[in-house]
């Protein structure tokens, strides 16, 4: 049994060593599609596995920062849906850093990753830290797609409610106003 497992691992290592970046990117895309399909079916554990594989394969292929950021973001989103907010936070931080370093930068992708990071922080009760990220995202929100603006408005309202009556009440009011104007 042990010899069989070792043989399989050696074969897998040889196959990955022989894979070209283009082949690896194709594999990563297939794994990404499998992740999306599993998510649509509500199979989050399967989506988690497929998104993890898609990210690892993209890393092996030395994929462009835009693709790596997307894979990190997608896996973070699945982790958030699974309630694994600490893992989601780390993946959103990676996706945000990757996206901010990419050339050219995409304000829409940076904005969405920043809002998602704030959401993961809120789920952990890290409202202060999350509000700093959310405030940074405010000028980027008009660049988001309509569904992303709707999601962002929901996160802003969540923060506005949390901040009301406290030392950051003015920021909470600002979040509320921005959320009302996001259409």
* Whole-angstrom Cα Rg for the chain: 19
- Of the pLDDT bands very low, low, confident and very high (cuts 50, 70, 90), residue 19 is low
Q: Is the pLDDT of residue 35 over 60?
A: yes
Asked if 148 and 112 count as a contact pair (C-beta separation under 8 A), the reply is yes
Q: What are phi and psi of 41, to 5 degrees?
A: -85, 0
**What local confidence, expressed as pLDDT, does residue 21 receive?**
77
In this predicted model, what pLDDT tens digit does every residue of 91-132 receive, in sequence order?
999 999 999 998 888 999 999 999 999 999 999 999 999 999
**What local confidence, expressed as pLDDT, does residue 13 receive?**
44
Q: Is the pLDDT of residue 5 over 90?
A: no
pTM, to two decimals: 0.85
All structural domains of the chain: 24-92 (1.25.40), 106-183 (1.25.40)
In the predicted model, what is the mean pLDDT of the chain? 89
Nearest CA to 28 out of 52, 4, 12, 47 is that of 52
Rounded distance, CA 127 to CA 131, Å? 6
**What local confidence, expressed as pLDDT, does residue 118 receive?**
98
Average pLDDT for 153-178: 94
Which 8-state DSSP code applies to residue 43? -
Least confident of 1-10, 63-72, 171-180: 1-10
């Amino acid at each position: 049994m042990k010899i069989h497992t070792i043989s399989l691992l050696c074969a897998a290592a040889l196959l990955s060593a022989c894979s070209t970046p283009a082949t690896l990117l194709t594999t990563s895309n297939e794994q990404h599609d499998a992740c999306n399909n599993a998510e649509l079916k509500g199979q989050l554990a399967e989506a988690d596995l497929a998104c993890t594989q898609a990210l690892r394969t993209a890393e092996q292929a030395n994929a462009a920062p835009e693709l790596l950021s997307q894979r990190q973001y997608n896996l973070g989103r699945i982790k958030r849906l699974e309630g694994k907010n600490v893992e989601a936070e780390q993946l959103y931080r990676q996706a945000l850093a990757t996206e901010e370093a990419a050339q050219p930068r995409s304000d829409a992708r940076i904005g969405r990753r920043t809002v998602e990071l704030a959401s993961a922080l809120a789920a952990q009760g890290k409202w202060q830290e999350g509000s700093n990220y959310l405030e940074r995202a405010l000028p980027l929100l008009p660049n988001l797609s309509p569904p992303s603006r709707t999601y962002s408005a929901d996160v802003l309202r969540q923060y506005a409610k949390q901040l009301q009556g406290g030392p950051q009440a003015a920021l909470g009011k600002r979040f509320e106003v921005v959320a009302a104007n996001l259409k």
